[in-house]
């Protein structure tokens, strides 16, 4: 399932002294894309948490191909790479306004019970999408 976010504009506070988006912000961009993807599938994140389920990131990868700078606009393409089990894996591609790929990445999130902090199976509300 692919989803591409709305256009996002790089804000000044997301850049470093060199005027380039600081590497830490890319995980925020990925999170934005995941949350928006879930909302488009009618699974708002607050509904997941209401059911005592949390999704911490347990692994991430980033590959920078071209920098984003203050004022650039971009979109994030997110894709769930395989059917979720006790975790869910996403891949991401960021494209600038010229359509050039600037970044690739992956995140692995675990499904945990928020009370026990123990791993659980993927909830049916998500697994039924696959």
Residue-wise pLDDT tens digits, 83-130: 999 999 999 999 999 999 999 999 999 999 999 999 999 998 888 887
Question: Catalytic one among 16, 49, 61, 100?
Answer: 16
Alpha carbon of residue 68 to chain centroid? 17
| pLDDT class of 81 with cuts at 50, 70, 90 | confident
In CATH terms, 2-127 corresponds, of 3.40.50.300, 3.10.129.10, 3.40.190.80, 3.40.50.720, to 3.10.129.10
Residues 6+ apart with CB under 8 A from 101: 65, 66, 93, 94, 95
Does 1 score more than 80 pLDDT? no
**Between the CA of residue 47 and those of 12, 77, 109, 125, what are the distances in Å?**
32, 23, 17, 10
Residue-wise pLDDT tens digits, 21-50: 999 999 999 999 999 999 999 999 999 999
CA distance 71 to 129: 36
**Between the CA of residue 36 and those of 29, 54, 66, what are the distances in Å?**
11, 16, 24
Element of type H or E holding 30 = helix 25-40
Residue-wise pLDDT tens digits, 44-69: 999 999 999 999 999 999 999 999 99
Does residue 16 have an active-site annotation? Answer: yes
């Amino acid at each position: 399932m692919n989803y591409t976010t709305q256009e996002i504009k790089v804000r000044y506070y997301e850049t470093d002294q060199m005027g380039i988006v600081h590497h830490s912000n890319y995980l925020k961009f990925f999170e934005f894309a995941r949350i928006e993807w879930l909302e488009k599938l009618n699974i708002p994140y607050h509904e997941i948490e209401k059911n005592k389920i949390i999704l911490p990131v347990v692994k991430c990868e980033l590959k920078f191909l071209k920098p984003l700078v203050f004022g650039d606009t971009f979109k994030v393409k997110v894709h769930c790479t395989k059917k979720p089990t006790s975790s869910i894996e996403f891949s991401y591609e960021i494209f600038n306004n010229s359509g050039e790929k600037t970044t690739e990445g992956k995140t692995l999130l675990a499904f945990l019970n928020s009370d026990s902090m123990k791993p659980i199976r993927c909830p049916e509300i998500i697994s039924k999408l696959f």
